[in-house]
Chains A and B, each alone.
Chain A
Amino acid sequence: DSGVTQTPKHLITATGQRVTLRCSPRSGDLSVYWYQQSLDQGLQFLIQYYNGEERAKGNILERFSAQQFPDLHSELNLSSLELGDSALYFCASSSKPLVNGEQFFGPGTRLTVL
């Protein structure tokens, strides 16, 4: 158990819909990362937050947005969903926003878009 929690574990929805994925980092970690893992694209970095502020942006679509709240939990919002958005979505946390630091990954949310 990494100490990072993600809900829900599974999510099935239809194209065009909007969903919210939730992540609670390890106690004391200020930095949260979101990743998308699909069979054809592998594990792709989406976005990073540190203490409520956006720190880095990767290959995140404009239909996706995220935020980190004062209690440090984070939410990833996916809208106008397409079939290709079906994937595993991971959240990770670390104590610092610095590179080379260890990230602790949650168990993931499996999103299926029908």
Chain B
Amino acid sequence: TQLLEQSPQFLSIQEGENLTVYCNSSSVFSSLQWYRQEPGEGPVLLVTVVTGGEVKKLKRLTFQFGDARKDSSLHITAAQPGDTGLYLCAEPNSGNQFYFGTGTSLTVIP
């Protein structure tokens, strides 16, 4: 079973601050997805990274896939209250199963 550890578990910051959350695996990822889940809703896909060292940007969000494909990070610049939510990393495996990380709960205070 793939084990995806995310850190930190909880993060509370002021609007305008920058932050980084991490996702680490016990083994090599085949690919990695990041999701955001808002209270009372299901997760929504933000990005998929496939290649080691890959960097993808989505407005103020920057996603990085580690060179060894065992870790990934999500950096948010100038956080806004609308960024509040649970950030989950997930790895689909060859068996069509999806493993989700433990999650980082982000609160951005206006």
Give the B-binding residues of A (Cβ under 8 A).
2, 4, 33, 35, 42-45, 48, 55-58, 90, 92, 97-103, 105-108
Which bucket holds chain B's interface residue count? 20 to 34
Q: How far is the CA of A112 from the CA of B17 in the complex (A)?
A: 38
A99 and B96 contact, Cβ closer than 8 Å, known pairs A42-B103, A43-B88: yes
Q: How far is the CA of A100 from the CA of B49 in the complex (A)?
A: 9
Instruction: Say whether A99 contacts B30, CB under 8 Å.
Output: yes
Q: How far is the CA of A105 from the CA of B99 in the complex (A)?
A: 15
Contacts of B103 in A (CB 8 A): 42-43
Q: How far is the CA of A90 from the CA of B42 in the complex (A)?
A: 7
B40 CB to closest chain A CB (Å) equals 7
Specify the chain B residue showing the minimal Cβ separation from A2.
B42
Contacts of B102 in A (CB 8 A): 42
Using A2-B42, A100-B92 as known contacts, list a sample of 19 further A-B pairs with CB atoms less than 8 Å apart, ordered by residue number in A. A2-B44, A33-B98, A42-B100, A42-B103, A43-B43, A43-B88, A43-B103, A44-B100, A55-B96, A56-B96, A58-B98, A99-B30, A99-B94, A102-B45, A102-B48, A103-B45, A103-B98, A106-B42, A107-B41
